[in-house]
Amino acid sequence: MEVKGSCLCGAVKINIPQIAEEITVCHCHMCQKFFGGPFLSLAGVLPKDFSLHGEEQIQRFMSSEWAERGSCKTCGSSLFYHSLADDEYYFPTGLFDEIDQAKLVGEIFYDQKPAFFHYQEATEKLTEEAFLQKLFNDSE
């Protein structure tokens, strides 16, 4: 599916010509602080597979040794999580209007999920330990 999105003020625009119709939720404490709640994310995308307009309006923040996060300098919208290890960008679902057919498939850092968040969809649920173990085993 093709998706087009933007920050709240429209200074930053994102176009992804082809993306999997899957949504993952990250419940880690950093995502909760950065996105104001759980991070509902589209599948990871390499820079060659999307276009970003308004790069000069993006403020980048190194949130860890392995990742940076981006936000709009003008309106403050949270724009992405960028994994430096594999160069994939993860964009919040809220930036895009045309994702109604996407399905919630997984939740990571499930052990950090606040008790008041509940999703009705059946999802794969990975704790921080299980997620990191899967991540490092899959990359070998």
Q: What is the pLDDT of residues 93-120, one digit of tens each?
A: 999 988 888 999 999 999 999 999 889 8
CA–CA distance, 83 with 67 (Å, rounded to integer)? 5
User: What distance separates the 2 farthest-apart alpha carbons in the chain?
Assistant: 41
Task: Select from 39, 37, 18 the least CA-distant residue to 91.
Answer: 39
Q: Are strands 103-108 and 124-126 parallel, antiparallel or unpaired?
A: parallel
Question: Which residue has better confidence, 66 or 63?
Answer: 63
The mean pLDDT value for 77-106 works out to 94
Joined together, the tokens standing for residue 91 give: 């964009």
Residue 139 contacts residue 120 (beta carbons within 8 Å): no
Phi, psi of 94 (to 5 degrees): -65, -15
Reported as a single tens digit per residue, the pLDDT across 40-57 is 999 999 999 999 999 999
- Is the pTM above the cut of 0.85? yes
pLDDT at 138: 64
